[in-house]
Amino acid sequence: MARSNYTFTSESVSEGHPDKVSDRISDEIVDIFFRRAEEGKIDPWDVRVAAETLTTTNKVVIAGETRGPSGADAVTPEEIEAAARAAIKDIGYEQDGFHHANADVQVLLHGQSAHIAQGVDEGTGEHKEEGAGDQGIMFGYASNETEDLMPAPIQYSHAILRELAEKRHSGELSDLGPDSKSQVSVVYEGGKPVRVSSIVLSTQHTHESQTPADVRKMVESTIRDVLPDGWVRDDTAWHVNPTGTFVIGGPDGDAGLTGRKIIVDTYGGMAPHGGGAFSGKDPTKVDRSAAYAARYLAKNIVAAGLCDWVTIQLSYAIGVPHPLSIYADAGGQVDEARLEQAISKVMDLTPRGIRTHLALNRPIYAPTSAYGHFGRTPTDEGHFSWERTDLVDELKAAM
């Protein structure tokens, strides 16, 4: 029998965390190539990007593989460097140890391996359809415990940092720096989240003289406003900047790498993770696109009222177009075998089918790089299309 009374904890990190700075730069590169496709300089189906970024004290190193336009229309190292500097500036880094204008930016991208392209491109390899960009397993999850059908601990951890960042950018909390981490421990009773037992926030600040008590005074009202009424109680434990001074932060305080916050990016540990990161990858990489598809399916299943929560697993082999397996776990709330059959009916889960259904061949990726890829609001510009709930009727009919 599943436990109904427990405490579950998830963490988030801000856009200024060094790993997230790296994710943002890598996703800006994906967007550059899709913008070039919108300009008609390349077929969007031919875009290939696998960009990895390292950030450290006043240094940015960008490596990986790309395929795009050539000649006068090529994406140049100078254009990529400019995008990296603009991203760093937008995040808010103008510090001695990491500054958008002064950092040394090295662009070491090269062309995609022909042996990777073989079998992924349509009409090549053993299968004539476009194949998956890699092997792997991807998971999607949804739960009706929050309005966005996300686990409460990760959703509120994100919300705290997102709200603090907005107030930092607006100048309302100008004494905060870009780098921060949050952690929320949520108490469940009868399987439902009811309160917060502890709140952890470590946030960069601007003055050595500011104490943890000073920082808590700055942020406490914002945190209380983000959390549901009654969740913060007198016995809630607060740990704000528990190590003390936090002025040196971001890539100057710790090196950052693309793809190192995969649990922050997904479900905060409430659901399995296949191990693949998202940022810096074009949607032929099923690490990204199939994880989006799995979340899309899971969210629609829960939105349809078929179950309170569900985990979806998809598996792929490089160069092979169709998933090798589809698995659904809803804890016996619904006939999972029928649910797996319904999933295969309502959505084409080939890489091309996913890219078409979710309209992923667009410059929509930079906003995904911080505060989670899931539980976000779809936009008219196509961001977070996998958060739509437009499969509800089809799933009900298929079941």
What amino acid positions are annotated as catalytic residues? Answer: 17, 19-20, 52, 65, 181, 246, 254-255, 260-261, 281, 285, 287
Cα separation, 204 vs 215, whole angstroms: 9
138 bridge partner residues: 314
- Tokens standing for 162? 């997102």
Cα separation, 204 vs 284, whole angstroms: 37
Cβ proximity of 299 and 293 under 8 Å: no
SS (HEC) of 49-72: EEEEEEEECCEEEEEEEEECCCHH
- Tokens standing for 134? 């890699």
- Tokens standing for 324? 């090798």
Cβ proximity of 196 and 185 under 8 Å: yes
Integer-rounded Cα radius of gyration of the chain: 22
